[in-house]
A and B are shown apart, each in its own frame.
Chain A
Amino acid sequence: MNRNKSAKRVLPGFGLTLGYTLFYLSIIVLIPLSALVFKTFTLTWEQFWAAISAPRVLASYRLTFGASFLAALVNLVFGLLIAWVLVRYKFPGKKIVDALVDLPFALPTAVAGISLTALLAGNGWVGQYLEPLGIQLAFKPAGIVIALIFIGLPFVVRTVQPVLEDSEKELEEAATCLGATRWQTFTKVILPSITPALLTGFAMAFARAVGEYGSVIFIAGNMPMVSEITPLIIIGKLEQYDYAGATAVAVVMLIISFILLLVINALQAWQRRKS
């Protein structure tokens, strides 16, 4: 870091602000997380391994990460669509639609879970028409995905929206003038500029879904090996006063989530360099 660069900074006090940032992050994030790791130290390596690799626990990882990935993927596609509509079109009630997007942020997730279950169960508004067709959503893994789509929706919309708003229409017009088809304009002009934002939204929706508890347990049915999410395994262990076992599973989730977020970050950086 040379003197020339630091002279250009708008705000003074780099040392102070960085120090404060690290201090604050330590108190809010790092110390609680290290407490989590320390709690697992009461286990021997064999006990730790047994706690995190039981078949039930493995099945719950598959379900939690699989359902979260699927839900984030759905949100990626439809979140982009919603962001596009909100940015590019004018229609009556647009403000309301815009506000609706944020609702899953604000709603207590248990409320979301209970209302979705009421809707999709065999006697619910929607469930009563689906169940005769042999489609059961509530109390099945499909229900979990739906709950996770619900709570993850705002992330993609809210990260892509500002980028779309900033993108210059002239570029698209120029592409059209130069003879590009609509599809070419979309894939060659629009998509590259919003991909980093899309990936960020995807990562956030995914991370949120992995940690989700409230909305899922009501709709999941909670059957071991089938529809039991990892957070429920953790709660189950706590109910047995198995603090160490619960934290062991939590540490595994933490590590997997961290790796996935790193991968997505790397993807984003690669995208930025490319464009």
Chain B
Amino acid sequence: MNSLKLKTLLASVALAASGMAAAQNSLLNVSYDVAREFYKDYNTAFVAHYKKTTGQDIKIDQSHAGSSAQARAVNDGLAADVVTMNTTTDVQFLADNGVVAKDWAKKFPNDASPTTSTMLFLVRNGNPKNIKDWEDLIKPGVQVIVVNPKTGGNGRYAYLAAWGAVREKGGTEAQAAEFVGKLYKNVPVLAKGGRDATATFLQRNQGDVLITFESEVVSINREFGAGKVDAIYPSVSVVAENPVAVVERTVAKKGTAQLAKAYLDYLYSEEAQEIAAKHAIRPRSEAVLKKYAGTFKPLKQFTVAKYFGSLTEAQKVHFNDGGQFDKLYTPGAK
């Protein structure tokens, strides 16, 4: 090893050591894929806010990937101070393993979900197949792109939204099952995750309609230019909560409990709610919601709890192997 390399090595070791010393002033937020842009803006706002109120400089790191992959990483030892997910099952999994508090949902307002989203349809410009509501998705010849509920939270919500839409209109469980079965018969490609679905729909030009999170619509307009797709608001859809929690295991070790709590508390502030709204994530604040009425067109929403008990129960009944989804959807089986 030459001396230059040695010096670099020593320097990086020293840096790592100083990083450990400063750990109390740094926070790792482990989050899901599509929240990357939102948390980038939010972190800037929070760092400024924290400096103003306490005079301390802090640093926030973020990590993004599929929501449940992230939950598994945290469970396996990734030293996150806070988790901000897009499905409650992912946080519940951590609670069951003692990584976050058992009563995590009661630690912050609105069941510890400062923001929500909902499932919408995206259709090609001008809506050539004239898709208006859920019933249109099961018409013959309509191809629906959707995420595999086995591999993505986005897909689970799409499924639950379709199921609940039938129930919300007075249908029985059996009618809901029949409808969802027909809907998935119109699915030519099961995407692995939300971004994969978007790419399949827009870049590969597959399908007539994409079912995805409302927040994805804004990213699509930004990435592909506005006007390539139209967002269709069905008459009714599901509330998708974005739960947050302090990772007790890490903050106890690092002494960042207060900072972590302040970080999540601030998500409920008007400023943070407005940042969320700009990223098409539905704010809980009524005032901000009203201000951004153009982004969040009114639609009737139902909670997962109303028809499925909770996401954890829905997971058991519908998505686990041998569950309702497996029964309804086996295209190759004769």
Contacts and interface: CB of A to CB of B under 8 A. Distances in A.
Interface stretch (A86-94, A99-107, A216-224): A216-224
Interface stretch (B29-37, B41-49, B188-196, B285-293): B188-196
Interface in B186-207: 188-192, 196, 199, 203-206
Nearest to B90: A241
Contacts of B321: 51, 54, 56, 237, 240, 242, 245
B151 A59 contact: no
B326 A56 contact: yes
B205 A123 contact: yes
Contacts of B320: 240, 242
B298 interface: no
Nearest to A241: B93
A238 interface: yes
B68 A239 contact: yes
In this complex, which of A122, A217, A221, A239 has the most chain B Cβ atoms within 10 angstroms of its Cβ? Answer: A239
A239 B93 contact: no
Interface residues of A, number: 32
A118 interface: yes
B125 interface: no
A23 B310 CA distance: 49
A64 interface: no
A122 B68 CA distance: 32
A236 B151 contact: yes
Given A238-B72, A242-B320, A223 B150 contact: no
A223 B151 CA distance: 12
A225 B333 contact: yes
A54 B315 CA distance: 19
A54 B327 CA distance: 12
Interface string B314-332: 0100011110001001111
Nearest to A63: B332
Given A51-B321, A226-B331, A241-B68, A118 B204 contact: yes
Contacts of B234: none
A114 B331 CA distance: 25
A226 B315 CA distance: 24
Interface residues of B, number: 31
Interface string A9-42: 0000000000000000000000000000000000
A231 B190 CA distance: 15
B271 to A, nearest CB: 34
Contact of A224 (B69, B191, B329): B329
Contacts of A218: 196
Interface string B62-75: 00001011001000
B188 A221 contact: yes
Contacts of B26: none
B189 A139 contact: yes
Interface in A195-231: 217-218, 221-226
A197 B322 CA distance: 45
A245 B321 CA distance: 10
Contacts of B332: 59, 223-226
Contacts of A238: 68-69, 72
Contacts of A217: 192, 196
A54 B322 contact: yes
A240 B319 contact: yes
A162 interface: no
Contact of A223 (B66, B68, B93, B331): B331
Contacts of A221: 188-190
B205 A122 contact: yes
A232 interface: yes
Contacts of A55: 330, 333
A117 interface: yes
Interface string B145-173: 00010111000000000000000000000
Nearest to A136: B188
Given A139-B189, A217-B192, A239-B68, A225 B331 contact: yes
Contacts of A117: 204
Interface in B176-235: 188-192, 196, 199, 203-206
Interface of B: 66, 68-69, 72, 93, 148, 150-152, 188-192, 196, 199, 203-206, 315, 319-322, 326, 329-333
8 contacts: A55-B330, A118-B203, A122-B204, A124-B204, A218-B196, A221-B189, A223-B331, A239-B68
The 8 closest A-B pairs by CB, nearest first: A225-B332, A121-B204, A236-B150, A123-B205, A226-B332, A222-B190, A221-B189, A239-B68
